[in-house]
Structure 1
Amino acid sequence: MTTRSSFTANWPRTQPTGSTITMRPEGGVRLLSSPVHLDEAHHTMSVAKRSKLDIDLLDSAEIKRRNPHLNIDDVLAGLWDGRDGDIDPAQLCQALAARARRAGASILRTPRLAGFCAAVDTPMGKS
């Protein structure tokens, strides 16, 4: 089982592809601006609690304290997940591409798109 401390302590993490993906687990908040969203948040929190996830419901004053530049005029509350964060998108893309190649996929760089529906049609053929 991965605990919070072991999860965040391992970043940046080298993936099985040999790629390093950097994550900054700084926490994140989902803003709630309607009573319906607030009701959904209570359900989300009960599911999270059963899953042993640490999610907090913050009032607007606490959101403003943590994010002083955020406009919270219409915000009723927010769901805070301290394990949320940012992943470097370029590193993630490279790791996914390496994994796909290892699985036998081909990656087409900048092909001209001739059309799109249920399949992709390029000058090299349809898929």
Structure 2
Amino acid sequence: MDTFDLYDLRVEVICPPGARILCGAKPGDYFTLQGEMLHLPPGQGFSIYSLGSVLPLLAAKQRVTHANDWMTTDAEIACPDPNCPSRLKIIRTGVRTFSHGEVTVVSLQGADEDSPEGR
């Protein structure tokens, strides 16, 4: 069996009511992540700086984590501009199943040889 599961994610902008937002975001702006594909709603942009602040966390948020892991519970990321009060909230919205053989050319046996258990 070569399948694995990843969470679909929604990353949504949260803004304090009445606050001056400097990154160009509006409350409720969002993008979704399904597998490796990032999707924006038609006509909506997203700051590359805000995107850069959240990108390193998305692969981990897509995976099943231990209940006590901070990655399971912590979901809000500050805007990278220290003067902007907006936040990005990462929400797990569903689960998708993928096939190892459909997303890479590296065989499962080849991966076992490189793992600590396979040495």
Q: TM-score range by the shorter chain?
A: under 0.3
| Structure of larger gyration radius | 1
TM-score, length-scaled by structure 1:
0.23
- Please identify which structure carries the higher strand content: 2
Structure of higher RCO (CA pairs closer than 8 Å, 6+ residues apart): 2
